[in-house]
Amino acid sequence: MSIKKCIYVALPLILILASCGQSLPNDSLRTINQGEIIGIESDHNTFAWLGIPFAEPPVGNLRWKAPIQPKKFDSRFEASEFSQVCFQAEGIMTGNVGGWTGSEDCLYLNVWSPAWSAEQLNKKNVPVMMWIHGGGNTIGSADTYYPTDLVSQHEVIVVTVQYRMSNLGWFRHPALRQGNSTLEDASGNFGTLDNIMALKWIKENIGYFGGDANNVTIFGESAGGHNVAALYASPLATDLFHKAIVQSGIVSHSLIEDAESYYPEDGTSGIQSSKEVINRLLINDKKADSLEDAKDKQNAMSLEELEVYLRSKKPEDLLKAYFEASPKKGGMTRVFNDGHVMGAKGIYESFVNSNFKRVPIILGSNRYETKLFNMRNPEFVKWGEGEGVIATALSWAGITELPLEILRPDFYNAVNQYSSDSWKERAVDSPARDLTASGQKDTYAYRFDWDELPEVQGMDFSQLVGSAHAIELLFLFPAGLDNMLIKNLVVEDADTVNKLSNQMMSYWTQFAYTGDPGKGRSGDLPHWKAWSETEKYMVLDSENDRGLTMVNSEVTIDSMIEDLRKDSRMTKDEKCQTLFSLSYSGDIPEQSFNGFETGYCLSLDYSEILKMIENRGEDNEQES
């Protein structure tokens, strides 16, 4: 899959920022624990303070260490520019495939508040919402999200944060926990610790901006949703936040055993192993001729030598080796069950164990999550050169290939239904069931169904993309809806889009205020009720379709198997292939696959499906 296709896919999800004014109004002057700080005027009568350091730069000896408190400012800090993004591969945002961008010095956050005068500020104590960006925990940045609508319409403070990613953010090796290493250092969960440090900064400083440190909501999407779930389960984050929203998150963890063991002969593992990363580094440095040779050389090195070697590497060397070391069946970069930052039983323990200190939570997913990924598969969609005004406009951004035809629309929808239902079962329905059963009654769920995209040059984008992964972000951060490409490729009926956007922001901020989305801040929306035996989740859709509707259905493994069995859009072999894909990734138990259609699926050859899965895994890791 060409990077240009990937850029095209990402365009609806990129929230192009309106330009911030660069004046430094006196009313934005604040004195925080680090010293005086002054912000800028932003859109919709808001102030923004950009690029505030919340920890010391994790460089040099602080690489692979828990974050530490930032130093005080030497003089008044002008918070007028975003910081550099955390170090990552270029491609999606810039088209410079094969390059690198950002810095290891990236632990900064941004604060948005209403543009209160000094007199108004003294009377304010409003909810705080901390946003954690997505991107597979390998790409992304805080500056992509522009929350002025949330802030101005509903009087909340929004903080967007950055955190270390890839093997700079989650990495365990015995060589890195010698001497005076703390339990946090030894955990390998540096990205998680960065988010915890940002919460500590909020607790200590947000009152100076008019925020209530005792009413903090964490929310995030995709990998950001995973990181919210990790904080929900982390004992170190207890009492630092008071509500949580997990949007299309992954609620599983990586095993510490996988994190620092050589791969087995078949190359399967849940995560990139530090030992396999070192193997790739040795090969790339021409210190070894093969993986076996690298393994021998690595085993001959002392822990002290390995630590010096790892700390000597440039960040681009580390990330290159990290991606090269991707195992079969490897998952998204995730938190480790280290037993300190994260409990030994991982994230899911917090959903079933009533002894955890839990807070109100919203869990949600999009109706067709996986269309974002499957639309790039040439088995499903034909791509080629586009024509016309839109194609010309996209070519200026270096995008020369466009989707031309969905080869089998019914089959395409069927495949995406089951993979997206599986996502919902794992990330929403099962956690909601278990939370409620274990006593956490303030558990809410949603499914985002909006799919009213236009037809562009003969391609029906409502079928191609629909309610795909991350589309809901445009409704929570609607600054992106003003972008010309978004208007042409995403928005067909601006009035209904804006109405749904306002409704969603109203629900999200009401939850931030009270821990119950209820009828929204407006008080006139359909009542979003907690998960229960009689009503399960809220459908979020425009009034042209289902609108806002509470639904009592839920997804279980058994219901997916039964739906698949009855599905007329697939042949029996295609049903087996779909089930094989789900069982291969661990989404469906192996016995469900083995017993489907009285064992018929066991007789088929899945070699081509395996190739497709492995290629898709590479795309998801780097580009989701």
What is the average pLDDT across 470-476? 96
Rounded CA separation 195/477 (Å): 21
Count each helix (H run) and each strand (E run) in the chain, helices first. Answer: 25, 20
- C-alpha count within 13 angstroms, C-beta hemisphere, residue 115: 14
The full DSSP string for 155-217 is T-EEEEE----HHHHB---GGGS-TT--HHHHH-BHHHHHHHHHHHHHHHHGGGGTEEEEEEE
pLDDT at 104 over 70: yes
pLDDT of residue 624: 34
- Interhelix angle for 572-584 vs 409-424, to 10°? 30
Give the helix ranges, DSSP H, for 328-382.
349-352, 371-374
Q: What is the pLDDT of residues 579-592, one digit of tens each?
A: 999 998 888 898 99
Query: What percent of the chain has pLDDT above 70?
Result: 91
Q: Helix 557-566 and helix 572-584: axis angle, to 10°?
A: 160
The answer on pLDDT for 93 being more than 50 is: no
* Structure-block tokens of residue 79: 């918070």
Q: Please, which pLDDT band fits residue 96 given cuts at 50, 70 and 90?
A: low
pLDDT bin (cut points 50, 70, 90) of residue 20 is very low
Q: Summarize pLDDT for 346-368 with one digit per residue, the tens.
A: 999 999 999 999 999 999 999 99
* Lowest model confidence (mean pLDDT) among 103-107, 347-351, 488-492, 505-509: 488-492
Residue-wise pLDDT tens digits, 184-203: 999 999 999 999 999 999 99
Give phi and psi for 532, each to the nearest 5. Answer: -155, 180
**CA pair distance 121, 140, nearest whole angstrom:** 32
Indicate the pLDDT class of residue 60, thresholds 50, 70 and 90: very high
**Do residues 504 and 546 make contact, with C-beta atoms less than 8 angstroms apart?**
no
C-alpha of 225 from chain center: 5
Whether pLDDT at 393 is above 80? no
Q: Report residue 12's pLDDT band, with 50, 70 and 90 as the boundaries.
A: very low
The distance from CA 418 to its chain's CA centroid, rounded to whole angstroms, is: 21
Query: How, if at all, do strands 100-101 and 88-89 pair?
Result: antiparallel
Other Cβ atoms within 10 Å of 17 Cβ, number: 18
Three-state DSSP string of 312-340: HCCHHHHHHHHHHCCCECCCCCCCECCCC
- Over the stretch 603-624, which tens digit does the pLDDT of each residue have? 999 998 888 777 654 444 333 3
Q: What is the mean pLDDT of residues 56-61?
A: 97
What pLDDT, in 10s, does the model give residues 451-464?
999 888 788 999 99
Look up residue 107 and give its DSSP letter: -
What is the residue whose two structure tokens read 């597979």?
136
Could you give the angle at which helices 274-284 and 315-324 cross, rounded to 10 degrees?
Answer: 110
Instruction: Quote the pLDDT of residue 486.
Output: 75
**What are the start-end ranges of the E strands in 443-528?**
443-448, 455-456, 459-460
